[in-house]
Structure 1
Amino acid sequence: MILEHADITIPPGQQAAFDEAIVRGVTTVISQAKGFRGWRVQRGIESAERYVLTIYWDTLENHTVDFRGGPLFAQWRAIVGPFFAKQPVVEHFSLVGEAPMH
């Protein structure tokens, strides 16, 4: 499994609208993508305009080729793209170890 980590910055004062948009975008668009396994989005406490979106994919190619190269990516960007203050920084990670959350 691959973890996509997207660091997103939006303009000040847009948090409520972006909260709705990002949840809607993931649940109605990204969730349809091949290899999609789950997601989490968190808003910064010290920097309320900063968000971290994590998405779990079966393979790297499910994100980079299947999703980004297909029609769902344009639908996703139409929902969340207008909120971006700058281009998100997206990186991918593989699991080294974990423990259950309590």
Structure 2
Amino acid sequence: MIVEAALLQVIPGKEKEYEEAFREASVLISSMKGYLSHELQRCHEVKGKYLLLVKWETIEDHTIGFRQSHEYIQWKQLLHHFYDPFPVVEHFEAVSLN
């Protein structure tokens, strides 16, 4: 399993509109092959800052399957204009502690 993580900074004053658009966009990402779950967390200390965590079966499910899909085009149209600066997206996998 892969966790996609992104720190998102939303343009000041657009937080409510962003959260509404994100609810709509959630339907798109959750329909994708390899998608497992996602959550959006709002920061308490910094207004307009969010943490997005998406769990995928494989990194390719995100980087190829989602990002090269028609759904991603819709995702971008719904969400990308809210970000300033544009976020860095990174991928993580669990470390075995056994």
TM-score, structure 2 normalization: 0.92
Q: In 1, distance between residues paired with 2:6 and 2:57?
A: 17
> 2:75 — aligned with what?
76
Q: In 2, distance between residues paired with 1:79 and 1:60?
A: 23
Paired residue total: 97
SS in 2 for 1:78: helix
1:40 aligns with 2:39: yes
SS in 1 for 2:16: helix
Q: Please, which runs of 5 or more residues in structure 2 have no aligned partner?
A: none
Shift of 1:97: 5.7
SS in 2 for 1:96: coil
Q: In 2, distance between residues paired with 1:10 and 1:73?
A: 19
Q: In 1, distance between residues paired with 2:38 and 2:11?
A: 23
Q: Percent identity?
A: 35
- Please tell me the root mean square deviation across aligned C-alpha atoms, in Å: 1.4
> 2:65 — aligned with what?
66
Cα 1:49–1:59, aligned 2, differ >3 Å: closer, same or farther?
A: same
Shift of 1:20: 1.2
SS in 2 for 1:53: strand
| Aligned residue identity for 1:19 | E
Q: Which digits, 9 at most, give the CA deviation of each residue in 1:18-72, with x for residues without a partner?
A: 111112211x210111100001100111112111100000000000011001111
Q: Please, which runs of 5 or more residues in structure 1 have no aligned partner?
A: none
